[in-house]
Each structure stands twice: as structure tokens, then as C-alpha cells.
Amino acid sequence: MHHKLLVSKYTSLKQLVYSYFIKILSINTYKDKNTFIKDEINHLYKDRDESRVLYISSVVLRLSKSQNRKTMELANAIASDLLKICDDVFSVQIVPPGWIHFELTHSTLATWLQSLIVGSLGGAGEDEGDEEDKANNQCPMPNAQCPLSNSLFAVQYAHARCCSLVLLAHREGLIKLREPVPNTSPAFWDVISPNPLPWLNGDGRLRLNHPNERRLIAELVKVVDNIECADIKDSVKWEKVALSLSQAFENFWSNCRIWGEVKITSPELTQARLGLLMATQSVLRFVLEESLGIIAPLEL
């Protein structure tokens, strides 16, 4: 589909939405006297509703004055232009007095989850000097000057648990993947089959509908936005973010079965849940190693 290329380029869903939105706002009809538009990503907010992935923009409330147009009229015009190029990526809704809502489609979410498994994080928007900043601001290994807190050990445990469960699934034939190098944490998984994973059912909707599945997806979206968006990542409290993600994983693992009856009655759901494990491991690895500067162990 059209959006697959963009998902691979913009790992952050916030950046994906922004890439379409700024394209529309940059056309001559809207850009006159509005240099602030280039910073619009700072005003694109993710809604807290965990049952869907929804971003909200207030740009029209500010843009209508300089355009000398009624707010709702301008909002509907922008929405119409957006839908011409992105109806398979997200739906667009205008909410009075002029908010624009972008809700990601199930197919986009499926493509995004797959990209977390086979792709890599942290490449978008990096400047020269990022590595130097990283070295200056992070403790590379736990030691006497940089002790490992109990909460970070819990995050490491969650990462190792994800790895062991995925490898167990591989050994049992639920999925087939190329074995990672022993005693190292994989940056991403090389899944041979099923490829792609069966994220969607026959109606094109995500199989992952349990509240704990949706909460884990919502946490992944938030963390990846923090990783990839330069406007927010410097102010992120990474230990808190990592702990929240690991707790969402623990809730998912406690309440969403992979083995047992579900493996027999719903093999596609089992595989989709394994995919969610792999996506979680990929993000946990990045936060541990790149954002916190500590080891992401394969096993404990």
C-alpha cells in the first residue's frame, strides 16, 4: 500500500501524520504569512484514548486569522485536501471550533508494528553531535557512579522475558526466525514465517483488541514518538518511560495468553501477540541501550 514506504521512513507515527499534514499546509493556499507552520509538529498531540491511535492539531485555530477565512471552513478545506492523499493512512475528522483529528487506520498500525520488528529506531532527525550528546548525558554502564536502580532492573527483566518467549515460540514452531547471535540482544528480529505477521483479521482490523494489548500498543507509540521526535526527546524522563513500557508488557503478558488453548484455537492471534512481544523487545532494547546507556540482556 501507499503508506508502507512512509512508515519505513518515519518510524514515529507522529512524524508520519506530520509528513502528510505539513505537505498540505505548505501549499501556497495555506502558507502565506505563516512561517510557524514548519514548527507544527510541536502542536500535534496524541490523544490519551488507548483504544485507538489519535493525534490532534489546533493549527487551524491560529491559521484562520492570517488566511482571513472562517475557522470551520478552513478546517474542512484542509481535511478535504488531506483525504485526497492519505485516506488509507488515517481518517480525518473536524471537531468544532476547528480541531483536526487524525486517527490511524488498522492497516497503518499493522504496517507500523511490523516495521518495529524488522526495522531500526533512532535514525530520524539525528544531528551531528548526537553521539557526543549521548556520551555526555548518559551513563554507558552501571557502576559506582551510575548505580542500576531496581526499576531499571525490572525493565531489563522485561526485555529478557520478551526475548526468551520469542525464542521459545521459535523452538515450538509457532513462528520461524533466524536465530539471533547467542548472548546478544537482537536489534531486530529476522522473521521467516509468517511474514508479515497476521496483524489483521479477514475484515482488515487488528486482531489485538484486548485492553492490555491496546495499552501496550499505546505505550509503544508514545515511546517511539519520544525517540524519534527531536522536539520532545531531550526532555524525556527515560527511566520513567522505560518503566511504564515494561509495566504495560507485564500486564499484557499476565492477561493475554499465547500458549495453551489460544495457540490451538486462534493460531493467528498467537502469532500477532508474538509480534507484539517482538516489537516491545525492539523498543525496550533501544531505550535501555541508547537512551539509558545500560545493557539490554537476552536472558537473566
Q: pTM (2 decimals)?
A: 0.85
- The reported pLDDT for the residue numbered 231 is 63
Query: Is 200 part of any domain?
Result: yes
Query: Is 121 part of any domain?
Result: no
Q: Give pLDDT tens digits for 137-157.
A: 333 333 333 445 677 999 999
Query: Is 54 part of any domain?
Result: yes
Residues near 223 by beta carbon (within 8 Å), at least 6 away in sequence: 241, 245, 283, 287
Do residue 95 and residue 186 come from a single domain? no
Do the beta carbons of residue 229 and residue 147 sit within 8 Å? no
Sign of the C-alpha dihedral computed for residues 210, 216, 222 and 225 taken in this order: negative
Do residue 99 and residue 151 come from a single domain? no
- The reported pLDDT for the residue numbered 232 is 63
- The reported pLDDT for the residue numbered 285 is 94
Do residue 71 and residue 174 come from a single domain? no
Do residue 251 and residue 161 come from a single domain? yes
Q: How far apart are CA 14 and CA 260, in angstroms?
A: 37
- The reported pLDDT for the residue numbered 58 is 87
Do residue 166 and residue 99 come from a single domain? no
Do residue 71 and residue 11 come from a single domain? yes
Do the beta carbons of residue 222 and residue 238 sit within 8 Å? no
Do residue 275 and residue 135 come from a single domain? yes
- The reported pLDDT for the residue numbered 175 is 93
Do residue 151 and residue 68 come from a single domain? no
Could you list the beta-strand ranges (E) of the chain: 44-46, 54-57, 90-95, 99-104, 176-177, 191-193
User: What CATH number does residue 53 fall under?
Assistant: 3.30.1360
Do residue 244 and residue 192 come from a single domain? yes
- The reported pLDDT for the residue numbered 190 is 84
Do residue 285 and residue 138 come from a single domain? yes
Do residue 139 and residue 286 come from a single domain? yes
Do residue 272 and residue 159 come from a single domain? yes
Low-confidence ranges of the chain (pLDDT < 50): 1-3, 5, 33-34, 124-147
Ramachandran category for residue 206: left, alpha or beta (phi over 0 → left; psi -120 to 50 → alpha): beta
- The reported pLDDT for the residue numbered 8 is 62
Q: What is the number of structural domains in the chain?
A: 2
Query: What is the span of the domain harbouring residue 138?
Result: 129-291
